[in-house]
Structure 1
Amino acid sequence: MEQHFLVVTYPLQGHINPALHLARRLARVAGARITFSTALSGHRRMFPSSADGEVDDGLICYVPHSDGYDDGFNQDVDDVKAYPLRTRSVGSKTLSAVLRSLEERGRPVTCVIYTLLLSWAAGVAHEHGLPSVLYWIQPATVFAIYYHYYHGYDGLIASHRQDPLFPVNLPGLPPFRICDLPSFLRITSPDDPYVILIEMFQEAFDVLDSEETRSTARVLANTFDELESDVLVATGKIKLIPIGPTVPSALLEGTKDATGTGSTGTDLFKPDEKQYMEWLDSKPEKSVVYVSFGSLAMIKKRQAEEILRGLKESGRPYLWVLRKENRSEVAEVEEEGGMVVEWCSQVRVLSHPAVGCFVTHCGWNSTVESIACGVPTVTTPQWSDQSTNARLVELWGTGVRGELDGEGILEGAELSRCLETVMGEGERGKEIRRRAEMWKEKAREAVGEGGSSDCNLRAFVASLQ
């Protein structure tokens, strides 16, 4: 019987990208049929002319479901506390309808793969008699931290949340401090709107611990054996299967088109029309500083001014992604010596030979893309898993962490210092660049034919036969 995967993901760019890359690899490597489903709010931005209907690009069929927030969650109007219950209730019904429709059309699904914050999708799969698998789109280290938090270490962490430098030693993990843990585990106020995420992550582990899955719980992870080998066995009965890095295949193959979008545009943001690739072509090898804080981050006016100050002080050409919402905070953005765009294809930029450093918020997608491209980083983590990722970057030796001031701002002088450390001719910079190149080769070997991640993905598909 032909394998048919229904890949379900949260309607944010940082969730859609790794889910799509995995979907394409499953289609190409396993010859499987793929249906991709995100909430209507995300589907509409991916395909604005589809009128909420299906889209088929020849490799993947895109079928949306409703999560009860078809125009997206509006924090100014919608009740954040009601969000988990509503998405679970509405999402379960509409995703179930998607499964029934596919069955009726002779395209029965054989396995449901779901990403973070969608643990209810496992219940839908169970009701239809289908296996389900969580696809963890953060590092295995972060999965293990959450695992231990929900399996006996919550008291230790909770009792020291006010002490950012308190050392935390968890089984099978390198030593961390409280400030290195995911930000949701460091929340001290019960009124914090992100408290609901602690509960939503709890639900994910409740599903994995349930009687139905306890002996066979498997999690696909966007990492690779060589990168997190010790951590991959630090989660008890739950088996982590590293199948990453899940980035565009063209990027890993070194071909020119590294967007990975195929014939359909799947970015939720329109790339800036400025000719940034031609601008990069005009710059010397490894000379450009690329600055981007992802699809969610909003930066303060002072932070933007400090970044500009640090870039100018460094004297290096720069390509800076500054979203329209952010740019309105800055009356004038000087572009002397650099280029400022509202959005771009990050993988195309990182794979360009002119790029020598990536100043990043250290989201996991950006982190694995920098690893796959061999680009050293200056990290400025803000929330979620980013502090943990930044600590991992230090441990792997591929970048440095920018120290923030008392207001959480990366000052210009500190940015300039970090850029000199990473891109300068000092011994530390040379070692960082050497290790970045080493991890690039290991990442490409892992997903190449016969590599560890390639074999793991093939074995996973075979186990479903």
Structure 2
Amino acid sequence: MEQKRQPHILIATYPIQGHINPTLRLAKRLARVFVVRITISTAVEAQRRMFPSSPDSEVQLEENPLFSFIPYSNGYDDGFDPKKHDWKTYMSRFKERGSYTLASVVDSLAADGRPVTCIIHSFMMSWVADVAKDCGIPSFFYCIQPATVFAVYWHYFHEYKSVIAANALDPSAVISLPCLPSMRMRDLPSCVTAASPDEPNGVFLQKIKETFDRLDVELGRQGSIPLVLVNTADELEARAMASVNSKVELVGIGPLLEDAAEGSLFKAAEEKGYMEWLDRQAERSVVYVSFGSLSMLKKEQMEEIWKVLREGERPYLWVVRKDNRWEGLEFEGDDGKGMIVAWCEQGRVLGHRAVGCFVTHCGWNSTVESLLCGVPTVAVPQWLDQATNAWLMETEWGTGVRVEVSGEGLVEAEELRRCVERVMGEEGEEIRRQAATWRDKSRDATGEGGPSDRNLKAFAQKVISLCHVAVEK
């Protein structure tokens, strides 16, 4: 009976790096806050890359026997291939197959004497709430994008869809949403201005809508405000949180930067010497360039970036994934000035004293990491929430600058060079000061007794209380 009383949190996540990282960081922080059992569940395709020696079975962390990974199947155990698979079919099958197999995970854990007492899920996984409901288990949504993006989505799905649609083709058009500062259309998540429901932006918007439909159902059924965990801090996005606080309780529990090495889908260990190379560079001298785990840059864009790095005088570290290398564009050879790697441990790189600037696609994980490390940014957003994240960095926090694109949608070498020099040179002194200020505020938020730390402990206590209620019933 005592074992059954132990809180057991199952955290289900979409099988891509940008979702696994914040999920694992939340799990590790929860494990440090309270002694609870944690199970991370992502699709088989991702678990096989994370743990190739035991890809389809349970994996436990040696340092914590209460922390384990158990995969569900989304019907694409060998992975999604855009050349062979259709997005709509993939998402439909993902939901159908994932619901069945995740429920099986819950059942098997109960049969093994480890019943799940709470389920947490992130974006693209709204169906997990249905699995939890069918199993009689409370569930919570974990927003792995900023509160500002959540607020934009909320207002889009509640009264402002037609306003945004009417201005979708004009990136410079200004829109005002409740309690939020004025923003241009280009600052909004790209999916709310999608031209077609069949394009990837449109497909993602539909999946995001399912999450907000679910929150509406909870609001109507419970008569109380749904609680949503957000990987941000109250002070970072106070206005965004206020803009929806009458309908949803956004709880800032970040920004989180726990060690997430176990969740890597890429093998940074194969890359040798980049940390030692950084050790040899002068303080705040290196331009670090990375566009994350998904963004696919066109060959022309890669050439513009390469031109800036190759012809410039500053040392650089550039992450060019193996799946984004173009024929005829060679990066081999040692120019004595920089390094090009296929992947790296970004948290370690950004925390190194030699890094002075981060040229980034503005994924929220990269944004959070740059904040916590106090590294100024050159924002080159690609899609989804990245434009809003760039707006936050440039306009709200003053920690970076956003590039301007040409009429062909290209960031030309001269523009990228201008932004890098603005951040790294004398003109960037205020940007660097703001980066240091927000670094300290972000760390204070998650430090012992900080607002995010208090919020997470209160949530953990709520989970424990729900567990005790369930046992009593």
TM range (shorter): over 0.9
Q: Distance in 1 between matches of 2:251 and 2:49?
A: 31
**CA-CA distance at 1:318 after TM superposition:** 0.2
Change (3 A) 1:157 1:100: same
**CA-CA distance at 1:313 after TM superposition:** 3.9
Q: Distance in 1 between matches of 2:126 and 2:389?
A: 23
**CA-CA distance at 1:335 after TM superposition:** 4.3
Structure 2 equivalent of residue 227 of structure 1: 236
Structure 2 equivalent of residue 310 of structure 1: 308
Structure 2 equivalent of residue 408 of structure 1: 409
SS in 1 for 2:238: coil
**Structure 2 gap segments, 5+ residues each:** 466-473
Matches within 5 A, 1:23-422: 23-58=27-62, 59=64, 60-210=67-217, 211-213=220-222, 215-235=224-244, 236-248=246-258, 259-261=259-261, 265-271=262-268, 272-333=270-331, 335-336=334-335, 337-395=337-395, 396-422=397-423
* Range with greater deviation from structure 2 (37-46 or 407-416): 407-416
* Range with greater deviation from structure 2 (267-276 or 73-82): 73-82
Asked if 2 retains the 8 angstrom alpha-carbon contact of 1:35 and 1:63, the reply is yes
SS in 1 for 2:263: coil
Structure 1 equivalent of residue 461 of structure 2: 462
**1:436 correspondence with 2:435:** yes
**CA-CA distance at 1:260 after TM superposition:** 3.9
* Range with greater deviation from structure 2 (32-41 or 70-79): 70-79
Structure 2 equivalent of residue 251 of structure 1: none
Root-mean-square deviation (CA, aligned residues, Å) is: 1.3
**CA-CA distance at 1:330 after TM superposition:** 4.5
TM-score norm. by structure 2 comes to 0.93
Asked if 2 retains the 8 angstrom alpha-carbon contact of 1:301 and 1:330, the reply is no
Q: Distance in 1 between matches of 2:222 and 2:15?
A: 26
Structure 2 equivalent of residue 256 of structure 1: none
**CA-CA distance at 1:422 after TM superposition:** 0.5
Asked if 1 retains the 8 angstrom alpha-carbon contact of 2:7 and 2:36, the reply is yes
AA matched with 1:245: P
Q: Distance in 2 between matches of 1:224 and 1:32?
A: 24
SS in 2 for 1:230: helix
AA matched with 2:57: G
**CA-CA distance at 1:231 after TM superposition:** 1.1
Asked if 1 retains the 8 angstrom alpha-carbon contact of 2:375 and 2:435, the reply is yes
**CA-CA distance at 1:104 after TM superposition:** 0.9
**CA-CA distance at 1:362 after TM superposition:** 0.4
Q: Distance in 1 between matches of 2:167 and 2:39?
A: 44
SS in 2 for 1:232: helix
AA matched with 2:319: V
SS in 2 for 1:201: helix
Query: Residue deviations 1:287-322, cap 9 Å, x none?
Result: 000000000011122211111211234310000001
* Range with greater deviation from structure 2 (299-308 or 34-43): 299-308
Q: Distance in 1 between matches of 2:94 and 2:22?
A: 21
Q: Distance in 1 between matches of 2:239 and 2:330?
A: 48
Q: Distance in 1 between matches of 2:374 and 2:205?
A: 33
Q: Distance in 2 between matches of 1:437 and 1:299?
A: 30
Query: Residue deviations 1:403-433, cap 9 Å, x none?
Result: 111222211111111111101012xx11000
**1:15 correspondence with 2:24:** no
SS in 1 for 2:141: strand
* Range with greater deviation from structure 2 (407-416 or 436-445): 407-416
Asked if 2 retains the 8 angstrom alpha-carbon contact of 1:314 and 1:419, the reply is no
Change (3 A) 1:432 1:200: same
Q: Distance in 2 between matches of 1:323 and 1:208?
A: 37
Q: Distance in 1 between matches of 2:309 and 2:36?
A: 46
Query: Residue deviations 1:5-38, cap 9 Å, x none?
Result: 0000000000000000000000111221100000
Give 1 or 2: higher helix fraction: 2
Q: Distance in 2 between matches of 1:12 and 1:80?
A: 15
**CA-CA distance at 1:191 after TM superposition:** 3.6
Asked if 1 retains the 8 angstrom alpha-carbon contact of 2:197 and 2:203, the reply is no
**Structure 1 gap segments, 5+ residues each:** 249-258
**CA-CA distance at 1:234 after TM superposition:** 1.3
Asked if 2 retains the 8 angstrom alpha-carbon contact of 1:214 and 1:237, the reply is no
**1:2 correspondence with 2:9:** no
Query: Residue deviations 1:365-410, cap 9 Å, x none?
Result: 0001000000000000010100111011112100001111122221
Provide the aligned length of Structure 1 versus Structure 2. Answer: 450
Q: Distance in 1 between matches of 2:278 and 2:223?
A: 51
Change (3 A) 1:117 1:209: same
SS in 2 for 1:157: helix
TM-score norm. by structure 1 comes to 0.94
Asked if 1 retains the 8 angstrom alpha-carbon contact of 2:292 and 2:363, the reply is yes
Asked if 2 retains the 8 angstrom alpha-carbon contact of 1:119 and 1:203, the reply is yes
Q: Distance in 2 between matches of 1:11 and 1:135?
A: 15
* Range with greater deviation from structure 2 (22-31 or 371-380): 22-31
- The share of aligned pairs that are identical, in percent, is 54
* Range with greater deviation from structure 2 (327-336 or 236-245): 327-336
Higher RCO structure (Cα 8 Å, ≥6 apart): 2
Asked if 2 retains the 8 angstrom alpha-carbon contact of 1:291 and 1:359, the reply is yes
Asked if 1 retains the 8 angstrom alpha-carbon contact of 2:287 and 2:355, the reply is yes
Q: Distance in 2 between matches of 1:7 and 1:421?
A: 42
Asked if 2 retains the 8 angstrom alpha-carbon contact of 1:311 and 1:415, the reply is no
